[in-house]
A = this chain, B = another copy of it.
Amino acid sequence: MAHPSNNPLKGYTHYTHFIISNPDTYVAHVEINRPAKLNAFKREMWLELRSIFRQLSADPEVRAVVLSGAGERAFTAGLDVHAASQSEPTLLGSKGDIDGSRVATLLRRDVYDFQDCISAVERCEKPVICVLHGIAIGLAIDLSCCADVRICAANTHMSVKEVDIGMAADIGTLSRLPKAVGSFSWVKDVCLSARTFDAEEALRVGFVSQVLESKAAAVEVGLRTASLLASKSPVAVQGTKELLNHARDHTVDESLRYTAIWNSAMLQSDDLSSALLSGIQKTKPKFAKL
C-alpha cells in the first residue's frame, strides 16, 4: 500500500480544508487538514465536510472511508472558538437590540445546520472508520460518534470539553454517546466533568474498538480495515450499516420489519451468487458498482 495521501481521489480535488486520497481501490481517505491550528474547525470546514460526505455517499468508486486528522498533534482540537466568536456574533457577546426569541431563532437555525453538517458522516451510505490520535476534544467526539468504527493511537487524549466553555454539547455527542458506549455512569461522568480520558480507558468502556501504538499504526490499521470492507459485497456492507443504525433507534420488532422490507429488494442481487461462488472457488469475488 502506497502512502495514504499519495493518490488524490478523483472528483474531490477542489476541496480546500481536507485532503481526500485514494490509497486503495474503492477506499477514500479524508484527512482534516489544518494541522497548524490543531485541526480546529471553522464554519467553512464543516460546510465542506458535509459536501464531501454527501459526495462520498453516492460515489460508486468508494466503498469504505477512513477519517483522520493531518499532523502529529491532534485529530482535532474541536471548534475554533476564536473564529466562532468572530463569525457568529449571536453566539458570543453582542446581540445588538434583538430580543431573546429572535436570538433563539438564529441560534436554533445555526445549531441545526451545524448538526446537519456533522451528521453527514453518519448518513454517508458507506462505512466510515475514524482514526483518532493526539488531541481529540469537543467537536472531535461529536464527529467520531458519527463514524461506524473508532480506533485510536495510544497517545490519544479525549474529552467532551463543552461543559468547560459553559455550554452543553449540542452537535451530537450527547445524542450519540449514550448509544455508543454501554456504561451510562461513565458517559455521564465524562460528559458532566469534561475530564480527559485516554486510549486505554476508551478501549475498556468500548468507545473505541482498537488501540494502536502510534498514529501511523492506527492509520494503517484503519486503511487496512477499509480495504477489507471495500473488498466485500457493497450491497451487504452498506445494508449492514443502514440496518444497524436503524436498529439503534427503534424497537426490535420495528427493526425486524424494516430489515425484511429492506432485504426484499437487496437480496435481488448478483452479489449472493458471486460471494458463494468465490467461497467455493477460493477466488476473490468481483461486485458491480453501487
Kindly identify, within residues 73 to 95 of chain A, every residue whose CB is under 8 Å from any CB belonging to chain B. Answer: 81, 85, 91-93, 95
Kindly identify, within residues 210 to 267 of chain A, every residue whose CB is under 8 Å from any CB belonging to chain B. Answer: 225, 228-229, 232-233, 235-237, 239-244, 247-253, 255-267
Nearest chain B CB to A64 CB, angstrom units:
9
Q: Which of A11-19, A31-39, A41-49, A97-105 contacts B (4 or more CB under 8 A)?
A: A97-105
A256, B104: Cβ atoms closer than 8 Å: no
B166, A276: Cβ atoms closer than 8 Å: yes
A164, B275: Cβ atoms closer than 8 Å: yes
A2 sits at the interface (CB 8 A): no
Chain A residues touching B, majority SS: helix
| Residues of the B chain whose Cβ atoms lie less than 8 Å from the Cβ of A172 | 252, 256
A166, B272: Cβ atoms closer than 8 Å: yes
B229, A261: Cβ atoms closer than 8 Å: no
A127 sits at the interface (CB 8 A): yes
Given contacts A163-B237, A207-B183, contact A100 B268 (CB under 8 A): yes
A275, B166: Cβ atoms closer than 8 Å: yes
Give the distance in Å from the alpha carbon of A115 to the alpha carbon of B105 in the complex.
24
Q: Count the copies.
A: 6
Kindly identify, within residues 173 to 221 of chain A, every residue whose CB is under 8 Å from any CB belonging to chain B. Answer: 174-189, 191-194, 205-209
Give the distance in Å from the alpha carbon of A188 to the alpha carbon of B126 in the complex.
12
B206, A182: Cβ atoms closer than 8 Å: yes
A112, B225: Cβ atoms closer than 8 Å: no
A24 sits at the interface (CB 8 A): no
Q: Which of B92, B239, B244 is in CB contact (< 8 Å) with A273? A: B92
| Residues of the B chain whose Cβ atoms lie less than 8 Å from the Cβ of A175 | 243, 247, 252, 255-256, 259
Q: Which of B92, B103, B251 is in CB contact (< 8 Å) with A272? A: B92
Give the distance in Å from the alpha carbon of A189 to the alpha carbon of B273 in the complex.
24
A228, B148: Cβ atoms closer than 8 Å: no
A99, B209: Cβ atoms closer than 8 Å: no
A269, B100: Cβ atoms closer than 8 Å: yes
- A interface, CB within 8 angstroms of B: 58, 81, 85, 91-93, 95, 98-105, 107-109, 111-112, 115, 119, 122, 127, 148-150, 162-170, 172, 174-189, 191-194, 205-209, 225, 228-229, 232-233, 235-237, 239-244, 247-253, 255-276, 279, 285, 287-290
14 A–B contact pairs at CB < 8 A? Answer: A101-B269, A103-B268, A107-B264, A115-B256, A148-B188, A165-B236, A166-B275, A170-B262, A180-B185, A184-B206, A184-B244, A185-B208, A193-B225, A194-B232
The 3 closest A-B pairs by CB, nearest first: A182-B182, A183-B206, A100-B268
